[in-house]
Amino acid sequence: MFEIKLVTEFDKKFWLSIDDHVSEQGLVNKIFTKSGYVFFHNQKPIGIMDYNLLWDNMPFLNYIHINKLFQRHGYGKQAMEYWENEMKKMGFKMTLISTQVDEGAQHFYRKIGYKECGCLILNDCPLEQPMEMFMYKKI
């Protein structure tokens, strides 16, 4: 059975074992602001998702990860639908995500209704990476 729950202190070790983008204090903030979720399959954690509000009024998905053994079972789609519905309940009209153009995630996002809306290119700087593509979805 697949479940999605808000991240809690009990999920700290699991979360930090997956997400190398967040500090312990950053995770504490996600717990406090209720902006992170943990995915469970048969009560065992299998993935995480977190977001923030860009410009204080647009839900932006920061990170989603599902253990490889559980990918391609529909859990990513269920997680995204859950998050979009939660954002809609809060009164938001759209969501925003991003992915590097060399990552396959863009195909998943297109399949579930996201459309390209811009990009960020970081060349010759400490954060250099392939182009970051932004996508949105009306909810």
**pLDDT of 138 over the 90 cut:** yes
pLDDT tens, position by position, 112-132: 999 999 998 988 888 788 889
Question: Tokens representing 103?
Answer: 């990552």
Q: What is the pTM of this model?
A: 0.90
Q: Whole-angstrom distance between the N-terminal and C-terminal Cα of the chain?
A: 26
Nearest alpha-carbon partner for 83 in 55, 63, 103: 63
Domains of the chain, start order: 2-138 (3.40.630.30)
Q: What is the pLDDT of residues 27-75, one digit of tens each?
A: 999 999 999 999 999 999 999 999 999 999 999 999 999 999 999 999 9
